[in-house]
Amino acid sequence: MKDKHEQALNMLKTARGQLDAVIKMTEDERYCVDIAVQVTAVESLLKKANLSILKNHIETCVQQSFKDGTTEDKIDEVIHILGKYMN
């Protein structure tokens, strides 16, 4: 597996572990603010992983599409994902 994919995969696995901990905290009826802080940490890690994945996509697939002359679809994909970030 490529190094960039490995980095994103590790972040996703860490987020999964954190989410499991948040679920346990909720089941144990822990203090709401503590749970909310942990949810924010999971969200942040997921965003970081997604950014890593998108960066890799731009550096590989989008860059290759410039060489192939097939950029329009790849650019539309990236714009679509970025639009979701802005909402």
pLDDT score for 70? 87
Structure tokens at 49: 């992983």
Give the chain as a DSSP string: --HHHHHHHHHHHHHHHHHHHHHHHHHTT--HHHHHHHHHHHHHHHHHHHHHHHHHHIIIIIHHHHHHT-HHHHHHHHHHHHHHHH-
Q: What is the pLDDT of residues 1-32, one digit of tens each?
A: 578 789 999 999 999 999 999 999 999 999 99
d(CA 11, CA 42): 10
What does the angle CA 56 – CA 83 – CA 39 come to, to the nearest 5 degrees?
80
What is the pTM assigned to this prediction? Answer: 0.83
Q: How many domains does the chain have?
A: 1
Q: Cα-atom radius of gyration of the chain, to the nearest Å?
A: 17
Compute φ and ψ for 80, nearest 5 degrees. Answer: -60, -45
Q: Which domain holds residue 19?
A: 3-86
Q: What is the pLDDT of residues 54-85, one digit of tens each?
A: 999 999 999 999 999 889 989 899 899 888 87
